[in-house]
Structure 1
Amino acid sequence: MLLVENLTKSFGSNTAVDRMTFEVDRPMMIGIIGRSGAGKSTFLRMMNRMTPASSGRLVFEGTDVLQLTGGGMRQWQSQCAMIFQQFNLVPRMDVVSNVLHGTLNRRSTLGTMFNLYPTEDIHKAIDILDRLGIADHAAKRAEALSGGQQQRVAIARALMQDPKVILADEPIASLDPMNAQIVMDALRRIHDEDGRMVIANLHTLDTARRYCDRVIGMRDGRIVFDGSPAQLTVGVARDIYGADETFSESATSTEIREHTGHQARVPA
């Protein structure tokens, strides 16, 4: 389904992604972890064609997407939706209009200029917002929502594209633990219910273990781990992050704990 082969990105003398190679044979929820500068975001941007690759192949369902140009590239970008850490919404625009921006790739120039949307698209946007538990905020400005709600609006916008792949670049990095779990629950449900591939850059090990089917660890642009969440031990994490024996993953945990110390989770 997805083949990444010797994918490389260099910026001058600096190699951000170094011969990255892995294969995915079915829709999965994949977490990519590693310290800042490991190449995680650069990989997602190459996959979405926001950043050109220096060399290598990225084949999805038989098509090398790195070779696509013009309309073919735009079609791929509509099938491969991006979700960003900072949401990338239009703050003063209402929520439903932000969601409808997910249809821009297939709309006419005239419709885009005058902000005209088919009734069926409006209904679909509201249905998606309802699925994510925020339909009652559809008429509000995006800036009036909390960070977690805004990220769910960004997820709804991605779903409006009806993508085959969702790429999430540190989707919970700026959220508190409660909202982080709500957002990750939503991404996991989208994978489970829709059968969409989800690839998420994550910064906490507990999140990767809890939500992902497969975890890829990157260090200095290279894959240094590729396995199941159960194989992501503290020792493996130390190698991924280049840390010594003082490394403790508890400092990066996003689990919600009550004052008694017992773990409290948001139900899926």
Structure 2
Amino acid sequence: MLTVTNLTKRFGSKAAVDNANFDVNEPAMIGIIGRSGAGKSTMLRMMNRLADASEGSIVFEGEDITALKGAAKRAWQSRCAMIFQQFNLVPRMDVVSNVLHGTLNRRSTVATMFNLYPEDDIHKAIEILDRLGIADQAPKRAEALSGGQQQRVAIARAVMQDPQIILADEPIASLDPMNAQIVMEALRRIHEEDGRMVIANLHTLDTARRYCDRVIGMRDGRIVFDGTPDQLTTGAARDIYGAGDDFSEAATSTEIQALDRSAATAVNA
């Protein structure tokens, strides 16, 4: 389905993504992990065409995505939805209208200007919110919701696009452990129930192991690991994060139990 070949993005003399190569043969949930600055976000931005590649190609179902321009590029961005760390909602707009923004690429300029939506689209938006457990929040302003609820609204907006791929750029980085688990479970359900490919940038090893079918590790712009969660050993994690023997997985954990154990260890010490 997806082939990334020699993908490179340079900013001046520095390569943020350096000669990345990987194939995805079927819809899967893939986690990309690594330290801040490893190139994870730049990789997703090139896949969504928010950034242009310096070299290489991204081919999806036989189409070279890196070569698209104008209307063809916008059509691709409709098929490849993006979820951001900071939600990117309209704070003073109600939740259901934020979700309906996922249809903007299919609507006329006049309908967009006057905020007019077909009744079927409104029902579909509420159904998606119900799947994510927040249908009761539909009439509220987005700014009135918690961070975890806002991220689920952002996921609902992405699903409203009816995309083939969902890209999530650090979707749980600003959330507490409980909401982080709720959001990751929502992404996993969308992958399993809808058969959509989901690619998420993650900081934490436990999250990647628990929710992803495949894990790609990046370090200094290069892919240094590509395997199953079971293959993501502590030794492999040290290589990805450039850490020494004192590396502790608990330091990257979002699991509540692991955080409790880490806190207890610190108190005992």
With the shorter chain as reference, the TM-score category is over 0.9
Query: Residues 260 and 187 (structure 1 numbering): CA distance in 2 closer, same or farther, change over 3 Å?
Result: closer
Taking the aligned partners of 1:149 and 1:139, their CA distance within structure 2 comes to 13
Runs (5+) with no aligned partner, structure 1:
262-268
Superposition map of 1:106-255 within 5 A: 106-255=106-255
Asked if 1 retains the 8 angstrom alpha-carbon contact of 2:213 and 2:229, the reply is yes
Asked if 1 retains the 8 angstrom alpha-carbon contact of 2:253 and 2:259, the reply is no
Q: Tell me the equivalent position of 1:10.
A: 10
Runs (5+) with no aligned partner, structure 2:
262-269
The share of aligned pairs that are identical, in percent, is 79
User: Secondary structure, in 3 states, of the residue corresponding to 2:92?
Assistant: coil
Q: Tell me the equivalent position of 2:267.
A: none
User: Secondary structure, in 3 states, of the residue corresponding to 1:82?
Assistant: strand
Query: Residues 137 and 221 (structure 1 numbering): CA distance in 2 closer, same or farther, change over 3 Å?
Result: same
- The CA deviation at 1:259 is 10
Asked if 1 retains the 8 angstrom alpha-carbon contact of 2:250 and 2:259, the reply is no
Taking the aligned partners of 1:2 and 1:233, their CA distance within structure 2 comes to 26
TM-score of the superposition, structure 2-length normalised? 0.95
- Alignment of 1:52 with 2:52, yes or no, is yes
Paired residues in the alignment total: 261
User: Secondary structure, in 3 states, of the residue corresponding to 2:257?
Assistant: coil
Q: Tell me the equivalent position of 2:69.
A: 69
Runs of 4+ in 1 over 3 A off after TM superposition: 258-261
Q: Tell me the equivalent position of 1:105.
A: 105
Taking the aligned partners of 1:237 and 1:260, their CA distance within structure 2 comes to 22
Listed one character per residue, the Cα deviations across residues 100-155 of structure 1 (whole Å, up to 9, x for unaligned) are: 00001111000111111111110100000001000000000000000000000000
Q: Tell me the equivalent position of 2:78.
A: 78
- The CA deviation at 1:23 is 0.4
Taking the aligned partners of 1:223 and 1:197, their CA distance within structure 2 comes to 20
Q: Tell me the equivalent position of 1:256.
A: 256
Q: Tell me the equivalent position of 1:265.
A: none
- The CA deviation at 1:222 is 0.4
- The CA deviation at 1:257 is 2.5
Code of the aligned partner of 1:165: I
- The CA deviation at 1:260 is 8.2
Taking the aligned partners of 1:37 and 1:181, their CA distance within structure 2 comes to 24
- The CA deviation at 1:256 is 1.6
- The CA deviation at 1:79 is 0.4
CA RMSD of aligned residues (A): 1.2
Taking the aligned partners of 1:251 and 1:57, their CA distance within structure 2 comes to 35
Taking the aligned partners of 1:133 and 1:119, their CA distance within structure 2 comes to 21
Listed one character per residue, the Cα deviations across residues 62-90 of structure 1 (whole Å, up to 9, x for unaligned) are: 00111111111111000000000000001
Code of the aligned partner of 1:137: Q
Bigger fraction of residues in helix: 2
Code of the aligned partner of 2:9: K
User: Secondary structure, in 3 states, of the residue corresponding to 1:199?
Assistant: strand
- The CA deviation at 1:251 is 1.3
Code of the aligned partner of 1:117: Y
Query: Residues 247 and 260 (structure 1 numbering): CA distance in 2 closer, same or farther, change over 3 Å?
Result: closer
